[in-house]
DNA sequence: GCCAACGTTGGC
DNA sequence: GCCAACGTTGGC
């Protein structure tokens, strides 16, 4: 079982949307590094930190679980979608998706600033290579993050 | 809205 | 295959 961090823009689709629909296709990935991780390493049962980016409060908002293998992202074939890719074709799809299911919304968002200020998380991909939209998370990093979230819970 | 970091494209 | 130009991401 692997741990990941998936980025979303809460204005488009955030943890609350996932909590409401329980399960959703994670689509629109248009970066090769992220695509390769989805294709080669993400498997059913993997745990995912849902991260909110490009918004007022950036940080980790909750947890989801991978519930399908990678399959072609249908948006790449839809001319009306902003994720349409004219260079892709159904017999040789370029982009893929997985489905994820809602697990938990944190009582409080864990801000990026808190993650950056924790020396135990210095090596996180989020800190070192912030732009990648699908990121591997080490088991140890996952633990540290959950501990930070749980401390916040106790304060609440 | 600015800007740094990074990814992609395309000419050569 | 290099590299300059350009586009995008995303924190602040």
pLDDT tens, position by position, A39-69: 999 999 999 999 999 999 999 999 999 999 9
Q: What is the predicted pLDDT for the residue at A87? A: 86
**Mean pLDDT, rounded, for A96-120:** 97
Q: CB of A6 within 8 A of CB of A50?
A: yes
Q: Is A54 left (phi over 0), alpha (psi -120 to 50) or beta?
A: left
Q: Average pLDDT, stretch A98-121?
A: 97
Average pLDDT, chain A: 95
**Is the C-beta atom of A35 closer than 7 angstroms to strand C?**
no
pLDDT higher than 60, residue A156: no
Angle at A38 between CA A34 and CA A26, to 5 degrees: 90
Residue A153 has what pLDDT?
A: 77
Q: What is the CA A81 to C1' B9 distance in angstroms? A: 22
> What local confidence, expressed as pLDDT, does residue A135 receive?
97
The model's pTM is 0.94
| Mean pLDDT, rounded, for A25-45 | 96
- Judge whether residue A154 has pLDDT over 80: no
Q: How far apart are CA A103 and CA A65, in angstroms?
A: 7
- Please state the rounded mean pLDDT for residues A115-124: 96
Point out the nucleotide closest to A85 (alpha carbon to C1′).
B8
b or e along A2-24 (b: 16 or more beta carbons within 10 Å of the residue's beta carbon)? bbbbbbbebeebbbeebbeeeeb
- Residue A132 Cβ < 7 Å to strand C: yes
Which residue's CA is nearest to the C1' of nucleotide B7?
Answer: A31
Protein-contacted bases of chain B (C-beta within 7 A)? 5-8
Q: How far is the CA of A121 from the C1' of B8 (A)?
A: 30
pLDDT at A27: 95
Nucleotide nearest the Cα atom of A59 (by C1'): C11
How many angstroms separate the CA of A45 from the C1' of C8?
31
Distance B9 C1' – A33 CA (angstroms): 17
Nearest-nucleotide field for A31 (CA, C1'): B7
pLDDT above 70 (res A145): yes
d(CA A48, CA A135): 9
């Amino acid at each position: 079982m692997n741990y990941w961090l998936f980025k979303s823009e809460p204005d488009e689709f955030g943890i609350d949307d996932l909590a409401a629909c329980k399960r959703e296709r994670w689509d629109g990935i248009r970066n090769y590094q992220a695509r390769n991780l989805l294709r080669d390493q993400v498997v059913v049962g993997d745990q995912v930190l849902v991260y909110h980016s490009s918004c007022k409060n950036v940080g980790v908002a909750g947890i989801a679980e991978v519930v399908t293998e990678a399959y072609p992202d249908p948006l790449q074939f839809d001319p009306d979608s902003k994720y349409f890719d004219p260079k892709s074709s159904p017999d040789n799809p370029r982009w893929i998706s997985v489905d994820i299911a809602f697990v938990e919304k944190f009582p409080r968002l864990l801000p990026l600033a808190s993650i950056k200020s924790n020396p135990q998380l210095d090596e996180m991909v989020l800190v070192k290579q912030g732009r990648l939209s699908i990121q591997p998370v080490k088991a140890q990093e996952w633990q540290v993050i959950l501990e930070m979230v749980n401390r916040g819970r106790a304060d609440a």
